[in-house]
Amino acid sequence: MPPPTDGQAFSDLMQQMAHLPQISPATLAELQADYLKQATALWNASLGQGEAPTISDRRFAAPEWRANPAAHFMTQLYLLNGRTLQQMAAAVEADDKTKARIRFAVQQFVDAASPSNFLALNPEAQKLALDSQGETLARGLQHLWGDVQRGHVSQTDESAFEVGKNVATTAGHIVFENELFQLIEYEPLTPEVHQRAFLLVPPCINKYYILDLQPDNSLIRYAVSQGHRVFVVSWRNPDESVRHLGWDDYVEEGAIQAIRVVQAISGQDKINALGFCVGGTILATALAVLAARGEQAAASLTLLTTLLDFEDNGVLDIFVDEAMVRLREATLGVESPKGPQLLHGQELATTFSFLRPNDLVWNYVVGNYLKGEAPPAFDLLYWNGDSTNLPGPMYCWYLRHTYLQNELKQPGKLTVCGEKLDLGAIAAPVYIYGSREDHIVPWTSAYRSTQLLKGKKRFVLGASGHIAGVINPPPKPGKPAKRSHWVGKGATLPADSDAWFASATEHPGSWWPDWSEWLASHAGEKKPAPKTPGNRKFKPIEPAPGRYVKVKA
């Protein structure tokens, strides 16, 4: 076939452009007219003819922005340009996913182009530099060089924390380990404990100690204090030696192995189990595998901000399509010419940070580098920066079969660990929690699990986001409650999440006591607390938090 002529190439290009997302001429004309009107008003206000709109954006809250006429006008114009670009993105005529991607890309550009991010355009940073005779700039360069060496923008003073010293401090012992995880058993805080042991499976894309940051906000310590014999999976931070592991390994040698050890140590066939985020997806998969083998290992199941039905993946959905998954499979998975590779933790951490760039990226660029401010010590942000790797095959399987093809919810569609999966075969009662402002696991998606699982279910909705909503302990005596939570009326859970919310009742304070009462009802009678961790077969290996959690990506 001969190459196309120039005229044919131009024709082909025009046909391709005709299929690109477009804005209708009428809408575009309306946006242009509105933009010119507002820009003219801003210009007139800068000349003293009229008043400019009040700026409520906290990036420009310092008085230096208002005191400098040029900076004030530039800020107003930037905000107008940003609003107009966002309106244009919203007006694009395309499918929902394409529109979401365009809106995300535009937002990234708008946030990155803020005048506050540049020393030459930031009067607040300039004044600090003048007043300090350049000391803030010198400190900023030191912070920048330190972050270059660390490979990421510092969000907190990382030197202020040490795992096992002032985070992840609940006392316990490692009672089992394999190439995937260490199992922690925590020391009792009560003279008696419930008969059934309690296993927590945290996400493998983060480290477990988000559930054990400080004594006052530790869900692990809270569960121990409520009289539960608590075990927690501490996932290994994968290195090259385990880059070949897949989803089946995380289910069989991870969650199922942890269940087996807890059963053996506690002497109980049934245990209570909790999964958080992707840890909940792994745990539910493991229980479905066991159900297919004729075993119901869970007396109860708690799912915190967990996706089982991936129809709506929140903002992460914009990253996932067939081309992207194939690229990952070709570079990280078993199809890679170099063989399976690791997905490095910093790549995941950077992706999650740019989901909220003003809060988790540019805020620190301005503070650390332009103002020379050392980031404050904050345990949650220290954990957020303590990233973990993932084996490529495991990550690629997860992407394709959940986020892309949404097959986990389809009975018999997937085979995991040699078994046809059916989440409906899990017979345990389930406590399902979602966070109302969660941008990673939208609460309406977490709610869909109520329609997949067949056991008796309770759904509770908490305020705030993916992490802050979960880590929401009851207040100390005399202190006001932070946040609230919603509980539905009656035992019926309608298929529509909005219908559930319309009849739900808001309660002030933490959802933890509600969950604790529910968990206790499935935990059996009390018995004397064990004097030593583990048993004859599974003896203590080392004190908690163990070696695995301390390995850096």
**Residue 418 burial by Cβ neighbours in a 10 Å radius (0-12, 13-18, 19+):** exposed
Long-range contacts of 223-227 (CB under 8 A, 24+ apart): 223/198, 223/516, 223/519, 224/170, 224/186, 224/187, 224/188, 224/189, 224/190, 225/189, 225/190, 226/190, 226/516, 226/519, 226/520, 227/190, 227/192, 227/193, 227/194, 227/520, 227/523, 227/526
Out of 204, 277, 396, 417, pick the active-site residue: 277
CA–CA separation, 27 vs 92, rounded Å?
9
CA–CA separation, 547 vs 553, rounded Å?
13
- Asked if 544 contacts 172 with a C-beta cutoff of 8 angstroms, the reply is yes
277 an active-site residue? yes
The two counts, helices (H) then strands (E), for the chain are 21, 17
Tokens found for residue 511: 């959802």
Asked, as a colleague might, if the bond just before 202 is cis with ω within 30 of 0, I would say no
> What share of residues in the chain are helix, strand, coil (percent, to 5)?
45, 15, 40
What Cα–Cα distance (Å) separates residue 544 from each residue in 186, 231, 260, 272, 488? 8, 11, 20, 21, 38
- Asked if 269 contacts 288 with a C-beta cutoff of 8 angstroms, the reply is no
The HSE-up count of residue 363 (CA atoms within 13 Å, CB side) is 13
- Asked if 197 contacts 266 with a C-beta cutoff of 8 angstroms, the reply is yes
CA–CA separation, 74 vs 43, rounded Å?
10
Q: ∠ CA 200-427-528 to the nearest 5 degrees?
A: 50
Strands 484-487 and 172-177: unpaired
Long-range contacts of 53-58 (CB under 8 A, 24+ apart): 55/79
204: three-class secondary structure by DSSP: coil
Strands 342-343 and 172-177: unpaired
Phi, psi dihedral angles at 289 (to 5 degrees)? -60, -45
CB burial of 530-549 (b: ≥16 within 10 Å; e: otherwise) equals eeebbeeebeebeebbbebb
Residue with tokens 């509980």: 487
Which residues are the active-site residues?
Answer: 277
